[in-house]
Structure 1
Amino acid sequence: MDRRTFLRLSAAVPAVGLRGVYDVRSYGASGAGESLDTQGIQKAIDEAAAAGGGTVYFSPGKYLSGTIVLKSRVALHLAAGATLCGSARITDYNPRHLIYARNVEDVAIEGQGCIDGQGDAFFDKDMKPLARPSPLIEIWDSRNIRILDLTIRKTPGWGIHTKNCDGVKIRGISLLNNLQAINSDGIDPDSCRNVIISDCHIEAGDDCIVLKTTNRGGFAGPTENVSVTNCVLVSAASALKLGTESHGDFRHCVFSNCVIRDSRTGIALFAKDGGVMEGIRFSNIVMTTQKKWGQGVEWPIVVDIEKRTAESRVSRIRDVSFSDITVHTSGRVLVAGMKQSPVERLSFRNLQMRVTGYERVEGVRKPRGGTTTLRPDNDYGSTPAAAIFANVRGLTVDGLDIVWPEGPAEKRHALFGDNLQDVTLRAIRAAASASDVTAIEIKNSKNVERI
């Protein structure tokens, strides 16, 4: 390796505290893509860690690997033309991840190269999943994680899962999965703090960016202080999502300046397990929805509270705002709290809906977002309205503009409300879809003000 390359790599990830560059080819990795390079890659990581930190360098080539374990103060740098390719054999993964780290700090995975999960190898001809490595990148109980600039493709399951981590930065990556691959999430921050996700392009057969608070080992910490911005997202499920795993709380999460296209659900908050979602902001988002695999119905925005099981604690959602949102959809916006736990302090400002068609509503159930054993008592999925609000306390809608499709119209309200309290409706520039239908239909509600 020449001096210029060494100096460039040494400066590439200053947060890692680098002391040297370790070329995986010097440790036995061939980069030919014909035999496993796992051992050589791991040797380079181990030596860098033993020296107090360094960059593990992948020059152009194809590096076939099973599980590698990342260690503190080590950066993996994939040069342009380098591909870290996951093995197509499940027996090469222990644990079942391509990159695994636990209790580490100051680590990075970066460069202009590619990580290929070979996801197609873990599905049968009918796209039913086989035993598979998932998540492809798994990091637990760690601090100061950087994942930058890479292309990640064809993950067999989840792409990136960070659990109980503090200080996660994911910037400038393309994560491109098969849209037919079930559970192929993009990025899953789980009980994490101080997370920045920016400038990413994600296409996923499940959720693109989904915040969770799972209960692993009897503990579920909060997910808090999260910023997601400047992303382009395509999802067969939900592009931006909180939940459904909600055993812990979600606080201070901001989503802005995103383009969502061809996704069944654009934005979803599903609270099922007793956690509290509060201080959540969505702004400057443009979305186009599309049916999942050509089936079902579209839900551009969903905010929902329900109990997952009879034993589940009741969740709460409060202090949530949506501003400057443009939606192209044949679906409907749905907000449904519970009678014993209404959504509180919810605002929509400048919501523009361009309705592209009339989906059937008769017999339609609300989206559930995940496994739930109870039948809900707040299912407004068959309500004929563009925007549906039920069991909400403290609702502000300031600027609602709906454009219905041309031609024969099905009967739809612009806005429907049930069991609302303390409501302010301002600048509602939305008519019903047909002249014999009320634009705004509200029942069983208190303190409703129209300005």
Structure 2
Amino acid sequence: MKTKSLLLAVYSLLLLAACGTPKGESGVFNIMDYGAVGDGQTDDAAAIQSAINACNKAGGGQVLVPAGHTFLCSPFKLASYVDLHLEANARLLANPDEKVYKESAFRDNRGEGMMWISGKDLEQVSITGMGTIDGNGVAFMGSELEDSYELKPVTDFDPRPHVLTLINVKQLRMRDVTIRNSAYWTVHLIGCHDALIDGISILNNLKIRNGDGIDVDHSRHVRIANCYIESGDDCICLKNRREFEEYGSCEDIVVNNCTMVSRSCAIKIGSENMDVINNVLFNNCIIRDSNRGIGIQNRDEGTVTNVVFSNMIVDCKLWSDVWWGKAEPIYVTSYPRAVGNHKDAGWRFPKGATEGRCGEVSRIWFSNVKCTSENGIFVGGDVPGKVNHIYFNDIDLLLHKRTDYPGGVYDKRPCDGEGFVKDKTYGFYIDTASDITIENSHILWGDTRPDNAAEGMMQKNAQNVVIK
């Protein structure tokens, strides 16, 4: 009897070795067990979705994207209690067929891209591993230009896919993955609560417009740390879009130890802000080769308060007018949004309004920021007092001309009226703002000093400017 039992046990072990663990039994749901091919040509979206659904139904676990394969896929949705884990040398690649992208990233506003990987009303979701998520961005572009890619004509919707759109997700974790080549925004958090993004790389094509890195939208308690981001548009952007107004304010955001490169504004607050952005800390960050460094660009009725930027190195240079910004290393503004015929202009103002208004920007601190740029710091608002209580301490600015683009311009876009301020290049340009304190700061011109170079500071309609 014992011999028979032993033989049955040995047989069971041999059978298990031959057949493998039943899919999902170990808590790991390998997408290839659900039919994914991984040849870079077969659309594996259905298999990936099946693995995610099975993992969720089992109560949670890991959906494994195995090494050594490229999994071409159309849109799919994440689920609660799922860790989407990409092994090193594994790649998810966005399907280049525009027709498969049918769900707007902005609800009824179909003018600003579709969703690829998405999730809504979820909890305990993670995306981890050393693998790559590739948005296949150039496949959705028009002709390559000198400074950008031409955008294809947009009819009733823009088919370019956002890489990752997460709405109302609680306890989100993203670690270590590389995301590259987004055709539109890369990581968009909407109404999320308790989110951690740590150690990821975002490597977008610097010629692709609208290619934001991380957009934190109506979200709270978000931590972003140890990331490297290259992006044609803003690298990290905080905002409150009108399409998602029910999710409320954007508050309690911490960004640490990140390195960024941008053709627009590396760190931006705005321009879309119809609510409150409050309690924000950026610390220990490096910005390189960007068109604008740190920008508060309030263009709607929302407010921006209690923001600290500390211990940063900012390096800016001029790029073409395709990109917003004129190499301002630090930029603090509030201007009403322009009235225009943009593809989604109907979503820019409150319902029934035909023109915009802008809210207050106040209690903003800059401490120990070392800047090298072709332009100076700009602070401005539409009326006196709108931009107030801005503090600069230990700011070192080296003004150094290094491109052939003309200087002597500050960029107010998108705003009602003239989009550019043309004047000499000053270290600080204060235009219609109040309660500005500048202490322990230095301005120095480098060896290349253009004709439009000026000394020190320009004050226009400025009230209570204190220089220590």
Query: TM-score band (shorter)?
Result: 0.7 to 0.9
Task: Tell me: CA distance 1:47–1:414, structure 2 relative to 1, closer, same or farther (3 Å).
Answer: same
Structure-1 separation of matches of 2:394 and 2:174 = 34
Contact kept in structure 2, 1:272 and 1:307, CA below 8 Å: yes
Partner residue of 1:246? 273
1:320 matches 2:364: yes
How far is the alpha carbon of 1:19 from its aligned partner? 7.9
Structure-1 separation of matches of 2:303 and 2:245 = 18
Task: Tell me: CA distance 1:67–1:401, structure 2 relative to 1, closer, same or farther (3 Å).
Answer: same
Deviation string 1:283-339 (CA, Å, 9 cap, x unpaired) is 111011122259883211111111115632331000000011111111121000232
Task: Tell me: CA distance 1:330–1:23, structure 2 relative to 1, closer, same or farther (3 Å).
Answer: same
Contact kept in structure 2, 1:19 and 1:52, CA below 8 Å: no
How far is the alpha carbon of 1:165 from its aligned partner? 1.0
Give the structure, 1 or 2, with the largest relative contact order (CA under 8 Å, sep 6 or more).
2
Contact kept in structure 2, 1:264 and 1:292, CA below 8 Å: yes
Larger CA deviation: 338-347 vs 227-236: 338-347
1:330 matches 2:374: yes
Equivalent position SS for 1:36: coil
Equivalent position SS for 2:33: helix
1:138 matches 2:171: no
Map 1:32-43; keep pairs closer than 5 Å. 32-43=39-50
Task: Tell me: CA distance 1:407–1:59, structure 2 relative to 1, closer, same or farther (3 Å).
Answer: closer
TM-score when scaled to structure 2? 0.82
Which letter does structure 2 place at the counterpart of 1:337?
G
Contact kept in structure 1, 2:384 and 2:462, CA below 8 Å: no
Equivalent position SS for 1:175: strand
Equivalent position SS for 2:32: helix
Partner residue of 1:449? none
Which of 130, 153, 175 is the aligned partner of 1:112? 130
Map 1:345-424; keep pairs closer than 5 Å. 345-357=389-401, 360-361=406-407, 364-368=409-413, 370=414, 372=415, 374-375=416-417, 380-406=421-447, 410=451, 411-424=453-466
Task: Tell me: CA distance 1:218–1:241, structure 2 relative to 1, closer, same or farther (3 Å).
Answer: closer
Partner residue of 2:264? 237
Deviation string 1:239-284 (CA, Å, 9 cap, x unpaired) is 0000000101100000111110000000100111111100000011
Q: Which runs of 5+ in 2 are unaligned?
A: 1-15, 104-113, 153-157, 340-353
Map 1:102-181; keep pairs closer than 5 Å. 102-126=120-144, 127-130=149-152, 131-181=158-208
Which letter does structure 2 place at the counterpart of 1:413?
E
Structure with greater Cα Rg:
2
Equivalent position SS for 1:311: coil
How far is the alpha carbon of 1:147 from its aligned partner? 1.3
1:83 matches 2:83: no
Which of 187, 195, 203 is the aligned partner of 2:214? 187
Larger CA deviation: 349-358 vs 79-88: 349-358
Task: Tell me: CA distance 1:107–1:406, structure 2 relative to 1, closer, same or farther (3 Å).
Answer: same
Equivalent position SS for 2:54: helix
Structure-2 separation of matches of 1:220 and 1:314 = 20
Which of 306, 323, 326 is the aligned partner of 1:297? 326
Contact kept in structure 1, 2:389 and 2:435, CA below 8 Å: yes
Determine what percentage of the aligned residue pairs are the same residue. 30
Deviation string 1:124-144 (CA, Å, 9 cap, x unpaired) is 223223454332100112211
Which letter does structure 1 place at the counterpart of 2:224?
I
Task: Tell me: CA distance 1:259–1:249, structure 2 relative to 1, closer, same or farther (3 Å).
Answer: same
Structure-2 separation of matches of 1:217 and 1:165 = 12
